[in-house]
A and B are shown apart, each in its own frame.
Chain A
Amino acid sequence: MLKIDKLHKSYKMGDSSLHVLKGINLNVNKGEMVAIMGSSGSGKSTLLNIIGILDELDSGEYTLDGIEIKDLTEKKAAQYRNKFLGFVFQSFNLINFKNALENVALPLYYQGLKRKERQEKAMFHLEKVGLADWAKHLPNELSGGQKQRVAIARALAAEPKLLLADEPTGNLDSKSGHEIMNILDDLHRGGNTIILVTHEDDIAQRAHRVIRLLDGEITEDLKIKSK
């Protein structure tokens, strides 16, 4: 599903350069739920950005579902993001002047789907996260947990191959956090491939596999048997 080989990435910081990722090798199979852990500065966000085709790698190889992700034009990158990837952010990032349904329908709008089709699909995914009754509500009328559920529905709307969640429970109380994790669990059981970044151990423990990053290198790759 996802294959990363000898990935290097560094950032220019004035005169010096900061080597953030130092030879990452990572394979994720279809249907896996992987948690990436690491302290801040470990490079986990950079890795997620590269996996999310928001950032480019310096050297190495990255293939997503058999397609090599390299030297993409901006337009192509945007199209791949739209087709292959679903993003869930820590701070939800819903568009505040659009209601829940419109937010969920947004990726479909960028696919050029007709309005009716968009709304039907969006409604379907809203129902999946249990928020069908809240479709016409604006984000500021929703609780944090509800917002994140809308964000998950949005990430799923385009039926992506890979779901990327960046600290999805970071801004939530533990109860809502567990609700969100339950939804991700359900999605995982339903066959979705999920990569989530977290620094909370109990969240990571609910994944199928835990990868620890330290200073730009993978120090641990642990399959959790109980799952």
Chain B
Amino acid sequence: MILLFLENCKISLSSVFANKTRSLLTALGIIIGVLSVTLMGTLISGLDRSFESSMSWLGKDILYVSRYQWFSDMEWWEVRNRPRMLPEYVEKIKKRSKYALAVAPVMQRGASLSYKEKKTRTEIFGTSEDYMQTISTDIASGRFFTKNEDRSGSRVTVIGDGIREAFFGNQDPIGKYIKIDEIKFRVIGVLEKQGKFLGLFSIDKQAVLPLGAYKRIFSRRGWMRLSVKIPYEKLDEGLDEVTSVMRHIRGLKPNEENDFAINQTKAFEKQYTTLKIAIGGTGIFITLLSLVVGGIGIMNIMFVSVKERTREIGVRKAIGATSGMIMGQFLMEAVAICLFAGSIGILFAYSFSFVINMFFPSTLPIGLAIAAMLMSLIVGVISGLIPSYRAAKLDPIDSLRYE
């Protein structure tokens, strides 16, 4: 059965290849259709993967308390007029919240780092010893700083893997001194390798310092957020509780609106889903459009083919082909063109996926590739149906006389 099918495929392909250029041009629509749907899938799979890892870096169980609501359309001056986050909130939240497992203040700014003659620009974070509990990264070597080092304003730092690689290569960085904006800091630990956040910027290029030293040296009144770790299954309760604690700290009356924002990775997820729908929708639209156009093209070419090969059909019938066999033959040809086009499309998509891979890790989803092939098969059957029916119904005598 399968052998017969393969043989029929081969026979169909032989007549498809007898008209190479025409078949290829006809197939273009299908090629584009399959290419766009598989590329879209590849893109989304890549986005999914980098989104997942980025979200795990942010932490699904972390509440980010700051002035700014993510993805909101608030005016900048409104945000600016809100009161700042203050380091003393940390202790207040810890004391009053029963869900908060850890609270870390985080200040952030750009700085230039150097080690000997090597120099790089990166983000530095000023935070407390709780910080490690609010990120999903571990220490790869060395250690994180202690509460005492934070209080005393010790000039120690934990660097990202990217900085370690850039400055130290194979050397052990622990105990070495690097300069952050020309001030010496001792490296006491290295964070695990992370990759890129949403494929945009590397989170391995960072340096974490104790808030004490950060404030003393870099900025006393910078932008600050608080990362509050909540047990994942209690996230909603935690959110309510932290909100009310914050309102209490700020002394807000019941009728007053929040003058702070509590963000969750959910906000990203929502944004991301919108993006995914947009990409997917565009991809599917292009796919459907090119499949319809491709299908019509194939139908047209099959009509021409039936017309041109009228005599052949007559001969085949005289020799003993039944209408069903003729119909099957032409249907197979349409399907063969489509499957061939589908394979070319997937081949292209496969090579393109390597290019996409250079920007963020992604693979061509096999299920989607199979679905795309199935789709081209269906297009082949649909567009081949009427022309092959016409071929099957040709009168053998007239066909044999056809010039």
Query: Which positions in A face B, CB cutoff 8 Å?
Result: 49, 52, 54-55, 74-75, 78-79, 81-83, 87, 89, 93, 95, 97-98, 106-107, 110-111, 115, 154, 158
Asked if A93 and B320 make an inter-chain contact with CB atoms under 8 angstroms apart, the answer reads no
User: Which 6 A-B residue pairings sit nearest by Cβ, starting from the closest?
Assistant: A82-B320, A97-B18, A78-B322, A110-B320, A93-B315, A75-B322
Query: Chain B's nearest CB lies how many Å from the CB of A208?
Result: 24
| A102-B312 Cα distance, complex, nearest whole Å | 14
Q: By the criterion CB–CB under 8 Å, are B320 and A79 in contact? A: yes
A-B contact pairs, 8 of them (CB 8 A): A54-B397, A55-B397, A79-B320, A82-B320, A87-B319, A93-B311, A93-B400, A110-B316
Provide the residues of chain B in CB contact with A89, threshold 8 Å.
315, 400
Interface residues on B, range: 20 to 34
Given the contacts A54-B397, A89-B400, A115-B7, A95 and B320 also touching, CB distance less than 8 Å: no
Across the interface, B14 reaches (CB within 8 A) one of A97, A106, A110, A115, namely A97
Known contacts A75-B324, A97-B14; decide if A154 and B319 are in contact (CB<8 Å). yes
**CA distance in complex: A110, B311 (Å):** 17
Interface string of B290-327 (1 = CB under 8 A from A): 00000000000000000000011011111111111100
Q: Which of B389-403 contact A (CB under 8 A)?
A: 396-397, 400
Residues of B within 8 A of A55 (CB): 397
Q: Which of A78, A79, A107 has the most CB of B within 10 A?
A: A78
Pair B321/A78 contact, Cβ less than 8 Å? yes
User: Are the C-beta atoms of A110 and B325 separated by less than 8 Å?
Assistant: yes
In the complex, A115→B10 CA distance in Å? 12
Q: In the complex the two chains form, what is the Cα distance from A74 to B14 in whole Å?
A: 27
Look across to chain B and name the residue whose beta carbon is closest to the beta carbon of A164: B318
Cross-interface CB contact of B318 among A87, A111, A115, cutoff 8 Å: A87
Task: Say yes or no for B97: interface residue by CB 8 A criterion.
Answer: no
A106 touches B15 (CB 8 A): no
A83 to B319, CA, bound (A): 9
B311 near A54 with CB under 8 A, answer no
Out of B7, B15, B317, B397, name the residue touching A78 (CB < 8 Å). B317
Residues of B6-59 at the interface with A, using a CB-CB cut-off of 8 Å, are: 7, 14-15, 18
Report how far A54 CA is from B394 CA in the complex, Å.
12
Would you call B320 and A49 a contact (CB within 8 A)? no
Task: Report how far A54 CA is from B395 CA in the complex, Å.
Answer: 9
- When C-beta atoms are compared, the residue in chain B nearest to A79 turns out to be B320
Which residue of chain A has the shortest Cβ distance to B401 in the bound complex? A45
Q: Across the interface, do B15 and A158 meet the contact criterion of CB distance under 8 Å?
A: no
- Docked-complex contact B315 and A74, CB < 8 angstroms: no
Chain A residues whose C-beta falls within 8 Å of the C-beta of B319 in the assembled complex: 81-82, 87, 106-107, 110, 154
Instruction: State A54–B312 Cα separation when bound (angstroms).
Output: 15
How many angstroms between the C-alpha atoms of A161 and B317 in the bound complex? 18
Residues of A with C-beta under 8 A to B396 = 54
Tell me, in angstroms, the Cα distance from A54 to B313 when the chains sit together. Answer: 13
Residue among B15, B18, B314, B317 having the largest count of chain A Cβ atoms under 10 Å: B317
Query: With A95-B312, A97-B18 known to touch, is A54 a contact of B318 (CB < 8 Å)?
Result: yes
Q: How far is the CB of B97 from chain A (nearest CB, A)?
A: 78
Task: Evaluate contact between A106 and B316: CB separation under 8 angstroms.
Answer: yes
